[in-house]
């Protein structure tokens, strides 16, 4: 064993501190799983089942279609889709050609998407038909030349497919013929079914997954095929008693997010498991999914579990087939964890990580000691340390709070076209997370705060500066400052403090309407407080942390 750390003593039986990686990309893993489990169900979408053999064939066909459109090795292919079969097909077809997936959140505004698509140099964009007007507007402002549209009903089973356009008119748009715009199914119908040689290479760039920085500017984390593969292998080693081809999970995490890219898509394919992919993980949809398919694992952010626990049907239905719950991307309340355990007898396994380390750094030990309030132990082949907040050079002792740093083969190579920011984030091989945490004597980590001012609401990362800047743009607003406040449903929610210009009047609804025009829905403040002044430093800088501390004191007294 190359290294031994205190957390290794807390590992569950059968989990090694280190594993030797198979140098197989996740693109090649699909080909392998298709040979090993050809008739096994890989994905389920609204009742439609896809076997591994079929997924491999669909990927070949779409890879040929992309090649016919001019996609070459190293090209960036933008993805602007929710969790649909087309997303998985497109990601793996892109990789099979040796091209790079550039992931984008379909909830983003045109302004936010324009920045990302310019930044990633994507020439091709695959999106939902409903988003075509936005995509066409972006086409003239970015490097995007070719757009491929997907219909949400493309792969619905009969009779849902025939009924869907009539029942869900607001979710369906017929795309008129136009230059450089192609429909996904039309391309699939014309493309060759011949196998495409896998051109994904271990050390090559595989994906650009966008994250925010301390300034709120979205940055593309460069994840190699090695990063994408090893993180799956590391997490797979954490679950040694779960057999290939015998597990069913629910794909709640969006694939455009690093957690979904890894768990909803690649972990499933690597292991020959089944994933029921969910475009919108709402409680009623999840209840029907659990009832119908009896999955073994239900992953989700805290708000999903709060919603399920509040539902009478979920509380009373059979859940004996569940082995556990996975959660990450946002804090989860201790009461929620306790309620799930009391209701089902199964544990909630917390996962901690960032886009920059392909989402997985620590996890509650499967089959080991569960410590509520912690995010578990560092995964195999992964090191964590806690350093002082000032210089980031002194390693702190167990029990002392400082900045968490991560080192491991799943850490990104850097930010795309941003060497200066890469140098700040990765120092001597360590990823500086900006999260403040504590390691205890057994090697369990607890996240206590964030060095950055990022708000995590419902699993989405929200940067207050983005919202502040939009508020500043309003003619009636003099100053504004946004913070995250505790929320039992979303983990945190967004609160904005607003100072109006002299003599101006404004309502809460006006502030929210202004934000809705310029921000993705999940970034819009849910709470507005008008105030006469904001706390400032001697040089006039608004003190966000002080404002947050004041709010916490006020809430604790209330």
Residues 534-556 have pLDDT tens digits of 987 545 567 887 898 888 888 87
SS3 476: coil
d(CA 152, CA 86): 9
What pLDDT sits at residue 288? Answer: 94
Residue 226 in tokens: 């090695």
The 3-state DSSP class for residue 20 equals coil
Instruction: Give the E-state strand segments of 252-301 in sequence order.
Output: 274-277, 297-299
Distance, C-alpha 81 to centroid of its chain: 13
Q: Which of 54-58, 164-168, 178-182, 197-201 has the lowest mean pLDDT?
A: 164-168
- Alpha helices (runs of H) in 359-418, residue ranges in sequence order: none
Torsion of CA 175, 181, 186, 190, to 10 degrees: 160
Residue 441 has pLDDT above 80, yes or no: yes
Buried b (16+ CB within 10 A) or exposed e, 216-236: bebbbbbbbbbbbbbbbbbbb
Mean pLDDT for the stretch of residues 204-229? 86
- Residue 290, by phi and psi: left (phi above 0), alpha (psi -120 to 50) or beta? alpha
Q: Which residues of 42-58 are buried (b: 16+ CB within 10 A; e: fewer)?
A: bbbbbeeebbbbbbbeb
* CA atoms of 94 and 97, how far apart (whole Å): 5
Kindly give the residue spans of alpha helices, DSSP state H, lying in 76-219. Answer: 85-96, 110-120, 132-139, 160-167, 184-190
Q: Is the pLDDT of residue 165 over 50?
A: no
Residue 493 tokens, joined: 């929610």
Calculate mean pLDDT across residues 259-264. Answer: 93
| 75/94 Cα distance (integer angstroms) | 9
Distance CA 393, CA 390 (A): 8
Mean pLDDT of the chain: 91
* Whether 184 contacts 148, CB under 8 Å: yes
Question: Tens of pLDDT along 480-533?
Answer: 999 999 988 888 999 999 999 889 999 999 999 999 999 999 999 999 999 999
C-alpha to C-alpha distances, 442 to 327, 328, 347, 370, nearest whole angstrom: 22, 21, 19, 12
Instruction: Read off the DSSP letter of residue 255.
Output: T
**pLDDT of 329 strictly over 90:** no
* Residue 346 phi, psi dihedral angles, 5° rounding: -110, 150
Strand order in the sheet with 491-500: 477-487, 491-500, 527-530
Whole-model pTM: value is 0.84
pLDDT of residue 166: 42
Paired residues of 487 in beta bridges: 491
* CATH superfamily label, 455-557: ANL, C-terminal domain (3.30.300.30)
């Amino acid at each position: 064993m190359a290294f031994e750390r205190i957390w290794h003593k807390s590992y569950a039986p059968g989990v090694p501190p280190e594993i030797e990686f198979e140098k197989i990309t996740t693109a090649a893993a699909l080909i392998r799983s298709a040979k090993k489990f050809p008739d096994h169900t890989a994905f389920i979408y609204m009742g439609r089942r896809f076997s591994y053999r079929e997924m491999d064939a669909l990927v070949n066909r779409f890879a040929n279609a992309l090649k016919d459109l001019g996609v070459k090795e190293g090209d960036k292919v933008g993805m602007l889709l929710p969790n649909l079969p087309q997303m998985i097909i497109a990601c793996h077809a892109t990789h099979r050609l040796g091209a790079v997936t550039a992931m984008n959140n379909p909830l983003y505004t045109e302004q936010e998407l324009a920045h990302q698509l310019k930044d990633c140099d994507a020439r091709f964009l695959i999106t939902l038909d409903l988003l075509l007007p936005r995509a066409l507007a972006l086409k003239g402002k970015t490097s995007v030349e070719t757009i491929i549209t997907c219909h949400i009903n493309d792969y619905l089973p009969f009779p849902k497919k025939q009924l869907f356009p009539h029942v869900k008119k607001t979710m369906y748009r017929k795309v008129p013929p136009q230059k450089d715009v192609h429909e996904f199914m039309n391309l699939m119908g014309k493309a060759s079914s011949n196998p495409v040689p896998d051109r994904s290479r271990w050390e090559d760039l595989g994906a650009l997954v966008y994250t925010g920085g301390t300034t709120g500017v979205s940055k593309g984390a460069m994840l190699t095929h090695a990063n994408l593969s090893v993180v799956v292998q590391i997490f797979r080693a954490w679950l040694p008693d779960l057999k290939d081809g015998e597990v069913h999970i629910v794909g709640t995490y969006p694939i455009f997010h690093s957690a979904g890219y890894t768990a909803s898509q690649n972990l499933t394919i690597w292991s020959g498991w089944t994933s029921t992919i969910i475009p919108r993980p709402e409680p009623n949809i999840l209840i029907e999914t659990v009832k119908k398919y009896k999955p073994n694992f239900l992953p989700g952010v805290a708000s999903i579990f709060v919603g399920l626990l509040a539902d009478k049907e979920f509380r009373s239905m059979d859940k004996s087939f569940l082995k556990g719950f996975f959660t990450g991307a946002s804090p989860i309340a201790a009461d929620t964890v306790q309620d799930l355990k009391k209701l089902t007898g199964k544990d909630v396994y917390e996962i901690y990580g960032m886009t920059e380390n392909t989402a997985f750094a620590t996890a509650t030990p499967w089959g080991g000691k569960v410590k509520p309030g912690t995010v578990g132990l560092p995964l195999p082949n992964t090191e964590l340390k806690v350093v002082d907040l000032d210089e980031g050079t002194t390693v702190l002792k167990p029990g002392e709070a400082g900045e968490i740093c991560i080192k491991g083969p799943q850490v990104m190579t850097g930010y795309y076209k941003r060497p200066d920011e890469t140098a700040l984030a990765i120092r001597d091989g360590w990823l500086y997370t900006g999260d403040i945490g504590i390691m205890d004597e057994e090697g369990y980590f607890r996240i206590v705060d964030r060095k950055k001012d990022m708000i995590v609401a419902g699993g989405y990362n929200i940067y207050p500066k983005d919202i502040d800047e939009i508020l500043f743009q309003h003619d009636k607003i003099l100053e504004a400052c946004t913070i995250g406040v505790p929320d039992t449903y979303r983990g945190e929610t967004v609160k904005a403090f607003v100072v109006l210009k002299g003599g101006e009047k404004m309502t809460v609804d006006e502030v929210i309407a202004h934000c809705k025009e310029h921000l993705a829905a999940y970034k819009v403040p849910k709470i507005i407080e008008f105030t006469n002044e904001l706390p400032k430093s001697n040089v006039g800088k608004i003190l966000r942390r002080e404002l947050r501390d004041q709010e916490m004191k006020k809430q604790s007294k209330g």
